[in-house]
Structure 1
Amino acid sequence: MTVKTYASPALDLGERARALAADLDTWVRRVRLDTQERWYERLHHDDDHEIWLISWLPGQTTGFHDHGESRGAFAVALGTLREHDLTADRELAPGEVREFGPGYVHEVRNTSAAPAVSVHVYSPPLSVMTRYDLTGSGLVERVQETAEQW
């Protein structure tokens, strides 16, 4: 099955994520639900950007993390997700998009009672992610992961 990547230079990251999230026929048969951890699959990768599809069962979370030097965007395709950064808490419904720049730290989780699916676009492709713990005195770096670990 060929996956449309919506890689037109005219589309920004948020528009790419939104367009692919709305095109369920392109990806819905690929989605898997995993009770142990979030399921994810990279749908596209080139020198400019990459696209990931992620499914979330209730309670599954990313924990606090950044995306290194990559810009990013994600769109909710099915269900609802909650994004939390150090300034706000946002509930995101299907079709809603969050865009962010390099070094942005956030946590995304499924706080609903139903599964959710989201589409994530990063440019340049992810090379490193740092995971953090939130303590009473702020964020504490826990571990840095490289792309080879995904």
Structure 2
Amino acid sequence: MALKPQARNVLDSLKNPSRQEMKDALAKINMTIEELEPLLKNPSGKPYYRKLLYKSEDVELLVMNWSDLECAPHDHGDSHGWIHVLGGTSINYVYEVKNSKLPKEIFKEYHHQGRLFFAPKKGVHKMQGNGTEGLVTLHLYSPPISGMKVYDLEKCAACVVSDDCGAWWPDEQRQKLKDIKLKKEA
């Protein structure tokens, strides 16, 4: 599926966009779950399947459909962005990270169909569907995500993953760009 010309024009116009400009762009492109459904595939044992819809030097747009698995706590590198819940309900767990310590969950929130929520630069979170219906989300990030850090709370470790890895511990060694040992809270 190619993006509609109107959506491509909106995204092409984004140059180092602000938080508000990105939110406005998502509203203008007005993509629906029905339009995107042909692109969705089985996540095959992963928390989600993702499909890149658009990428420029300044932004990237992805659609994700979720399994019943939660993703790992992660940040978005030096990117920030908006997540639009197109179908289902997302449970979003937000973490606090201090220095080289293990992330600590500080709250969780539910985002229902139609809701948008912001993912701040260096903010750590994890997501999952609430299990009652399929979760489908549309993500707009700026700049395109690179240097994402994924956390494994059981191993007390983190790693920076390659751009082709999602928010889970990498299956392939080549996807693990940097290992990071964390300290437990005292």
Q: TM exceeds 0.5?
A: yes
Where does structure 2 lack aligned partners over 5 or more consecutive residues?
96-105, 167-186
Q: State whether structure 2 residue 117 is matched by structure 1 residue 98.
A: yes
Counterparts of 1:63 and 1:127, CA distance in 2: 17
Closer, same or farther in 2 for the Cα pair 1:13/1:60, shift >3 Å?
farther
* Corresponding position of 1:118: 137
Q: How does 1:1-150 map to 2 (within 5 A)?
A: 1-3=1-3, 4-5=7-8, 6-7=10-11, 8-9=13-14, 12-18=21-27, 20=29, 22-37=31-46, 38-57=48-67, 59-86=68-95, 87-134=106-153, 140-149=156-165
Quick one: which amino acid aligns to residue 107 of structure 2? Answer: A
Q: Structure 1 residues 26 and 16 mapped into 2: Cα distance closer, same or farther (>3 Å)?
A: farther
Runs of 5+ in structure 1 lacking a partner?
A: none
Percent sequence identity over aligned pairs: 20
CA spacing shift, 1:148–1:29, aligned 2, 3 Å: closer
**CA spacing shift, 1:147–1:19, aligned 2, 3 Å:** same
* 1:13 to partner: Cα distance: 2.3
Q: Distance in 2 between matches of 1:27 and 1:16?
A: 17
Change (3 A) 1:95 1:51: same
**Moved segments of 4+, more than 4 Å:** 18-22
**Which residue identity is paired with 2:139?**
H
Distance in 2 between residues matched to 1:148 and 1:39, nearest whole Å = 12
Deviation of the 1:101 alpha carbon: 2.1
> Higher mean Cα deviation, 26-35 or 64-73?
26-35
In structure 2, how many angstroms separate the alpha carbons of the residues matched to 1:143 and 1:134?
12
Q: Deviations over 1:106-133 (max 9, x none)?
A: 0011122321100011100111110113
Higher relative contact order (CA 8 A, sep 6+): 1
TM-score by length of 2: 0.68
RMSD: 2.4
Aligned residue pairs, count: 146
Contact 2:83 2:119 in 1 (8 A): no
